[in-house]
Amino acid sequence: MIGRCRTWLSEEAPANRLGMVRLLVGVYAVVFVAVRSLHWLDVARLPERRFDPVG
């Protein structure tokens, strides 16, 4: 089992596969930022008194 995993991981991957992985990671990052940006903007709009130190 470990030998098969080691062989599979050490095989050379075609450039198309690497390109697809990069594309999928980029799309995931863009969607993540797009979804979270509204929350980040809400936090940025909080009044300054909300950021007073505690203690």
- Which pLDDT belongs to residue 17? 85
Q: Is residue 40, in this structure, part of any structural domain at all?
A: yes
Domain count, the chain: 1
DSSP 50: G
pTM: 0.62
Q: Which structural domain range is residue 39 located in? A: 12-50
Q: In this model, does residue 1 exceed pLDDT 90?
A: no
Q: Is residue 42, in this structure, part of any structural domain at all?
A: yes
Question: How far is C-alpha 22 from the chain's CA centre?
Answer: 12
Q: Is residue 5, in this structure, part of any structural domain at all?
A: no
Q: Is residue 6, in this structure, part of any structural domain at all?
A: no
- Which pLDDT belongs to residue 27? 99
Q: Is residue 55, in this structure, part of any structural domain at all?
A: no
Q: Is residue 38, in this structure, part of any structural domain at all?
A: yes
Q: Is residue 46, in this structure, part of any structural domain at all?
A: yes
- Which pLDDT belongs to residue 14? 86
Q: What is the pLDDT of residues 6-55, one digit of tens each?
A: 887 788 888 888 899 999 999 999 999 999 999 999 988 989 888 888 87
Both structure tokens of 14: 């075609």
Q: Is residue 32, in this structure, part of any structural domain at all?
A: yes
Q: How far apart are the first and last CA of the chain?
A: 55
- Which pLDDT belongs to residue 41? 94
